[in-house]
Chain A
């Protein structure tokens, strides 16, 4: 464990709503750290529809997901938010002094006066391919990411997928594994053409094997994989293998937040509509992840929720202090914070 990072607010999720929360909290001098499982800001906007136009952002008749994220990053820059990307929130507890301790899966320790969950549809996690019984092999023979290449040394490795992860690991693990077979449902790939060409060349020379098809079954015992059944254009075939790496994209799951003791409604966090506070005082939830009567999963609703949540957080962090509501159009103190006055 490293030394704790002390801050006012930890925001879980760096999607549009988490980003805008930095702005609202920043106007009240509240410093934020954001944690996100992705490697960049934007959440679903960046991961699912960066190029898709959104038509219901006020004053933007049309804006793409990525452009919205870029604008938000520009808007919150004066408040110097700190980002912890490629991290998932792991632990959570209230300290004796009333603050919260939040840990990440990489061992960082953050201590904050308030926690804001802006995790959208949940954290992006590797999708489990719909192969019957695959869960019996997970963690022993089936992995969704490569943490250490050594785990694949001298193994008969089956890699499934047609994107960059599948192709990159086919090329990289070839030197470590005993054999590498790549299975993809078609001979066309989403991965970078350069890696695809390299893979085909290695297939020619017999250094790896490429098989068109879809995995329909696994054989083995006690978590130890011995073979995979592939439905190929030439019929069903068996490929002996001891390790499998399926790359089937990402899905969203609530993840460890589900164990925080938050009151949920069908996997969404219940909040009040005055402060957007959860059943745990000091823990707030805004954006798609929350639920209240009448909730609409719109980015603009999340922005509204961020503004109201901020009022409550400010009162919590500075008890006894009068929270003065001001407009950015006229307040010189707000303009100073924004660096425009």
Chain B
């Protein structure tokens, strides 16, 4: 288990014990984090699970792959640390990871 924190747009913090191998999106849905829609169910096909990775974690989490970068074109207010949370898989090194939910999904 790895501790991750998803911060909703209104500032509510969701501290979650996430299973390694699961995606940040899956954990958000399971914990009913508002603002993560995940319309396509995690197929990297919709850009409705957009999050901002906390700048302190951006390097460790890494940049999106080409397909995800393409899909981010459809997201709202994309920033340098934008990622689709369905494409971030939890692992040991992410213990303490913080991501932020944007104002709205596309």
Residues of chain B contacted by A231 (CB below 8 angstroms) = 77
Measured in the bound complex, the distance between the Cα atoms of B37 and A252 in whole Å is 14
Q: Specify the main secondary structure of chain A where it touches its partner.
A: loop
Would you mind naming 17 contact pairs between A and B with Cβ atoms under 8 Å apart? A48-B40, A49-B40, A52-B43, A127-B106, A129-B76, A163-B73, A184-B73, A185-B78, A188-B69, A190-B73, A214-B77, A214-B78, A231-B77, A249-B73, A249-B74, A251-B39, A252-B39
Count contacts on B: residues with CB < 8 A to the other chain.
Answer: 16
Instruction: Tell me the minimal C-beta distance from A164 to chain B in angstroms.
Output: 12
Digitize A36-48: 1 where CB-to-B-CB distance is under 8 Å, 0 elsewhere.
0000000000001
A16 interface residue per 8 A CB criterion = no
**Chain A residue nearest to B69 in the complex (CB):** A188
Q: How many A-B residue pairs have CB under 8 A?
A: 41
Complex-state Cα separation, A185 to B70, whole angstroms: 10
Q: 20 extra interchain contacts, Cβ-Cβ under 8 A, other than A162-B73, A185-B73, A248-B74?
A: A48-B40, A48-B46, A49-B43, A49-B45, A52-B43, A127-B74, A129-B76, A130-B76, A130-B77, A130-B106, A161-B73, A162-B70, A163-B73, A188-B69, A248-B106, A249-B47, A249-B73, A249-B74, A251-B39, A252-B39
B104 near A: Cβ within 8 Å?
yes
The 7 closest A-B pairs by CB, nearest first: A130-B76, A48-B45, A190-B70, A49-B43, A249-B74, A162-B73, A248-B74
Q: How far is the CB of A135 from chain B (nearest CB, A)?
A: 15
Binding site for B on A (CB under 8 A): 48-49, 52, 127, 129-130, 161-163, 184-186, 188, 190, 214, 216, 231, 248-249, 251-252
In the complex, what distance in Å separates the CA atom of A118 from the CA atom of B64? 35
Closest B residue by C-beta to A163 = B73
Residues of B within 8 A of A127 (CB): 74, 106
B20 to chain A, nearest CB (A): 21
**Alpha-carbon separation in the docked complex, A288 to B47 (Å):** 21
Could you tell me if B40 and A130 are in contact, using CB atoms closer than 8 angstroms? no
Given contacts A49-B43, A49-B45, A214-B78, contact A129 B106 (CB under 8 A): yes
A320 to B76, CA, bound (A): 58
CB proximity of B68 to chain A, nearest CB, Å: 12
Q: Which of B39, B45, B47 has the most CB of A within 10 A?
A: B45
